[in-house]
Amino acid sequence: MRRLILGSTSPYRKKLLASLGVTFTQMQPDTDERPNKDEDPRSLALRLGRSKAQSVADQLQTEAHWICIGSDQVCHLERKLYGKPGTSEQAALQLTAFSGCWVTFSTSLALITSDGQKFSAVEDYECRFRTLSRNEIETYIQLDQPLDCAGSFKAEQAGVTLLRDAKGRDINTLYGLPLMLLSEALQSFSYSIFDFIKKP
């Protein structure tokens, strides 16, 4: 049986993958996440997802029977990138910019197997923010502390109340790991997600 390896230290991706009940190992990739000059958001997400999967695959060269998962999310508004804010002040600036706008979250998924098979793709999830008051923004940031989230909000928590509308096939894409796409990718390698479910 192949081992499933999550090439990410993100607690959010760990929680999402664990929600499927699968057995997996989490490893830290060594990836420079800085964008290249004039790189468009979806290309950036795809490149970083592939790089993370490859970084972990390189660490497993002496082992066999594994599948590495890499993923990255890029938040963007009219091609401008919005990363993890880090501070409440930066989070407030991001959410102020999003007020009344459609914002896109592009999340990549990249898989590499020990026998050289590869898969990579990007899925978008679009969010339309309400017109937000300064008080709403400041109160929300204090409540959810979304300082380690691209786009400065946690849709799986109170952040959903900041939205007026949303478009996308898989809400998990917005949360940070497109699980429907993961299932499809494993199927392309002739596996089912159920092959990795913890047995009682």
Q: Which residues contact 180 (CB under 8 A, 6 or more apart)?
A: 169, 170, 172
Q: In which residue are the tokens 């009344």 written?
A: 100
Is 72 tagged catalytic?
Answer: yes
Burial category of 122 from C-beta neighbours within 10 Å (exposed 0-12, middle 13-18, buried 19 and up): buried
**Coil, strand or helix at 164:** strand
Count the neighbouring beta carbons within 10 Å of the beta carbon of residue 90.
16
Distance of CA 113 to the CA centre of its chain: 20
> In this structure, what token pair is assigned to residue 92?
């407030």
- Of 30, 38, 72, 124, catalytic: 72
Evaluate whether 158 touches 110 at the Cβ level (below 8 Å): no
d(CA 134, CA 182): 38
Strands (E) in the chain, as ranges, are 3-7, 25-27, 66-77, 80-82, 102-113, 118-129, 163-167
Residues identified as active-site:
72
